[in-house]
Amino acid sequence: MALTRQLALQVSPQGIHVNAVAPGTTETEMIKNRSEEKRQFIINKIPVGRMGRPEDTAAAVLFLASKAGDYITGETIDVNGGLYMD
């Protein structure tokens, strides 16, 4: 996160936006190989009640790359279903 902020500070005057996307546990082939018990253990910790899908992370990236994200720089978007809320 600090690197994202520092880079944004350095290159924002040139009109360059720097952001990061931090995905949580995502349904991938690697995760599918885990036992159902382990998968359920992970899901039980996620407030929205499911693992992320690749499309969830892609949507955050698409948002940042779109005109809608034009005024955002130096930010990290957590795509983790609320796992790390304080």
Domain of 6, CATH number, reads 3.40.50.720
For residues 16-39, average pLDDT: 94
85 occurs within a structural domain: no
Q: In total, how many domains does the chain have?
A: 1
18 occurs within a structural domain: yes
86 occurs within a structural domain: no
Long-range contacts: 37-45, Cβ < 8 Å, 24+? 45/83
Mean of per-residue pLDDT scores for the chain: 95
CA atoms of 74 and 10, how far apart (whole Å): 10
Which residue type does 51 have? M
pTM of this prediction? 0.87
For residues 32-53, average pLDDT: 94
- What pLDDT is attached to residue 85? 80
Range of the domain at 28: 2-79
41 occurs within a structural domain: yes
Of the pLDDT bands very low, low, confident and very high (cuts 50, 70, 90), residue 84 is: confident
21 occurs within a structural domain: yes
CB 29 within 8 A of CB 48: no
- What pLDDT is attached to residue 86? 58
